Chain A
Amino acid sequence: MKWLGNNWDQVLVALGEHIVISFTALAIAFFLSLVIGILAARSERVFRWAIAFTGFLYTIPTLAFLALLIPVVGLGRANAIICMVAFSLMIMIRNVAIGIREVPADVVDAARGMGMRGIDILAMIELPLALPVIVAGLRIATVTVISVAVVAAYINAGGLGTLIFSGISNDFAPKIWVGGLTSCALAVAADLSLARIERWLRHRAD
C-alpha cells in the first residue's frame, strides 16, 4: 500500500474527524433518548408515539435526509450530526424504555418501601439495571452513526468518506480501499467493544 505509506496522516485526520462527529452525535442521542425513554417507560402512549415518529425518521434514506436538511442547516458537520442523532433515536429510546420496564417490579417496590424517592429509584436502581439493554441499543446506534458519517462526507462533514469520494473522483482505487476498509474496521471495532461491555454488564447484573 504505497499510497497509505505516504498519506497515513491524511487517513488519521479523516479518522479523527469521523470519530469526533460520531461521538458527538451519539452523546446527544444518548441524552435525548434517556429523557424520552424514561417518559416512554412510564407511558404506553408516549412509547408508541416516540417509536412511530423515530421509526419514520430511521426509514428515510441517509443521503435523502442529509439533502432535506440542506435548505435548513446548510452543509457540513451540523447537518451530519442532526441526521445521525435522528437515526439513532428509535433504537435508543426503545431500549431505554424497554430496559427500564424490564426491571423487576418487586425490586422497585422494595425500594419504594424503604422510602426512596422516585428520582433516586430511577438513578440508583432502574437505570443501572437497565444498562445492559441500553448499551445493546447504543451498540446498534454506534454502527448506524458510523455508517451515516461515511455518507456525510459528501456534504462536507469530513471523515473517512472524504477518502472514498476522493478515490471515486480520481478513479484511484487505493484511496477507496483505505477509506472503505478503515470505516468498516471502525464500525466492527466499535461493535465488538460495545458487545463486550454489554456482556460484562449482563454478567454483573446476574
Chain B
Amino acid sequence: MSARADYMRPLNYRDGCIDMNHGGGGRVATQLIDELFRPAFDNDWLAAGNDAALLDIPAGERLVMATDGHVISPLEFPGGDIGSLAVHGTINDVAMLGAAPLYLSASFILEEGLLLSTLQRIVASMAEASEKAGVPVVTGDTKVVQRGKGDGVFISTTAVGSVPITRNIGGAQACVGDAIVVSGTMGDHGVAVMATRESLTFETSIESDSAALHTMIAQLFADLPVGAIHVLRDPTRGGLASALNEIARQSGVGMLLEEATIPVRQEVDAACELLGLDPLYVANEGKCIIVCRDDCADRIVQILRKHPLGSKAARIGSIIEDPHGFVQMNTDFGGRRIVDWMSGEPLPRIC
C-alpha cells in the first residue's frame, strides 16, 4: 500500500514542537505556513503565495512606517500574549503620527522546541487582534534558531499607514502652554506581566491593557480642528515618565504635572508598592499621551472618555518653558519633585 503522493502528516498540535526543519524552506516549512499561518491570517495577499505583497495606498497621502521587535517573556500573560502585543504595538506606533494603519508584516524567529500548541495560540491571538483592528498581515517570514538561542519566539512586526499631508504630529511639536492628557490608567501592562513571571507569585485582577488605539485616535482627528493636536506618544517601555521626558527633550520644553490627576488603578498602586516600583515608570500597551492646544483639552478628554479604551482619560499637566527640559510634578503630598529619566531597567528596591 503506497502513500498518497505529497502526503504530509498534519501538524501535531497535541505535543509536537518546532524543529530545525520548520525554518528550512522545504516542505515542512511550507506546511507550517500553509496549515498554520496562512489560514489564521486569511487574506488574498497571503493566498497569492508570494514573498512580498502588492499594496495600494490612498492617493494624496503620505506613507508612514513603523517597526517593533517583541521579545517579551513570558509569552502569554493576563490580557494578552506576544502575538497580540506585536500587532497592537506597531499599529499604535503608526497611529502616534496621526496616521491610519493599513497593513502589517510579521516575522517570526522560533526557537527549536517551542510547542506547536503555544505557537498556534499565539498566531490565533495575532489573527484576532489583526482582524479586530482591521489591519491585515499581508506578508511574513519564519526562521528557526537552535534550542537555547531564543526565548520561545521573537516576533518582529512592521506596519505601514497613511497620513493626510496637512497633518503634522510629532515629538518636537509641543508648545509652551499646551495641555498634557493621558487616555487612561498607567502601569497596567507592566504589572500584569510581572505578576506572571516566575519570581513573583501574587494574584491580581490586573490585565495587560494591550490594545490598538487607532480608531480612538481617528475620532479625535475627526472631531477637532486641524492643529489642535501637537504630539501623540504611547508610553511603552519606561512608562509615562520616560515618554514625557523624551517629548520634553525633543520639543525643548519643560512640563508641570499634577500627581493627583494621573490615573492609576488602586491594585496597580498596591502591586508597585509591594515591588518597590513607581507606576510612572511601568510600561503601558494600550494608552497614549496627547499634547494639545490648551483650549482643546476638555473636548479631547470628553471624546476619549466616550471610547471604551479611554474611559479614564484625564488632563494631567501642562507644557511650560524650561531650557533644561525638566518634567516637574506637584506631588499629592504638597511638595514638588522632578520625574526624571529612568536609568537602565527598573530594578525593584528592597530598601
Bind each other:
no
